[in-house]
Amino acid sequence: MATNIDSVINLNDGITMPLFGLGTAWTNECSQAVSYAIEQGYRMIDTAQRYGNEEDVGKGITMSGKDRKDLFIVTKQWQNGHDACIQGLQRSLVRLDTDYIDLFLIHGPREGRNVETYKAMLELKKQGLVRSVGVSNFNIHHLEGLRIAGLPTPSVNQIELHPWLQPREIIDYCKKHNITVMGYSPLVKSKMLKNQQICDLAKR
C-alpha cells in the first residue's frame, strides 16, 4: 500500500520498484519536468521510444544531479521482433545516456511477435542491460501466450487504470499470476483535473 512518495513494491523477480512515478508521454518541456520531479522526490521516470523524448528524459536526469543508481528508469520497446528489440534497447540506452534500464516493457501486442520480442528482452536482462522485463497494454490472451510458451512471468503489465477505467478481469488475472499492475493516465490525460472530487482530494 502506498503511504508516501517513497513507497515501493517488490516485483516477482525480486526487483524493488517505486510505487509512484512521473509519466512523460508527449510532455512539453520534458527535461525541466523530469529534473523538477526528481528534486521533489520522484524516483521512477517512465518514458518510451514511441514518445520521442528519451533524449530529453536523459537530459532531465542529468540536470537533477541525482545519482543514477537511486533512480528507476522505465522505457518501452515500440517495434516488436527479436532484432528490432535488441537494436531498440541499444538506441534507448544512448538516448537516455545510461548503461542500463530498470524496467523494459513491450509497448503493446499490436504487431504480434510477442514471444520473440520477450525472448530478446530476457537476453538483454542476462547481459545486465535490463534489470526487469514486462509488458504494456497486454490483455489476458496475450499474457497466456507468453505462459504457454513457457517463458518467465512478466514482472509488470502497464495498462490504463484510473477511477474512471477499472478493467477488473485483467487486474484479477495479473494478481493471480503475481504480475504487478502499473497504471498510466491516472487523471485521464489531464481531462479530469477540474473534477470536483479530485480537487477536494487534492486540497485534503
Q: How many C-beta atoms surround the C-beta of residue 94 within 10 A?
A: 12
3-state DSSP assignment of residue 36: helix
- Note whether residue 29 is domain-resident: yes
- Note whether residue 1 is domain-resident: no
Catalytic residue among 36, 42, 51, 118: 51
For the entire predicted model, the pTM comes to 0.93
In this structure, what CATH number is given to the domain that contains residue 183? 3.20.20.100
- Note whether residue 3 is domain-resident: no
51 is catalytic: yes
- Note whether residue 194 is domain-resident: yes
Scanning 127-167, the segments in alpha helix (DSSP H) are 140-148
pLDDT of residue 19: 95
**What is the rounded average pLDDT of the residues 46-50?**
97
DSSP structure class, residue 59: H
pLDDT of residue 193: 83
- Note whether residue 128 is domain-resident: yes
- Note whether residue 55 is domain-resident: yes
Is 53 in contact with 112 (CB distance < 8 Å)?
no
The 10s digit of each residue's pLDDT in 1-40 is 778 999 999 999 999 999 999 999 877 799 999 999 999 9
The 10s digit of each residue's pLDDT in 124-160 is 999 999 999 999 999 999 999 999 999 999 999 999 9
- Note whether residue 43 is domain-resident: yes
Say how many domains are in the chain: 1
- Terminal C-alpha separation, the chain: 19
138: domain range? 8-203
- Note whether residue 2 is domain-resident: no
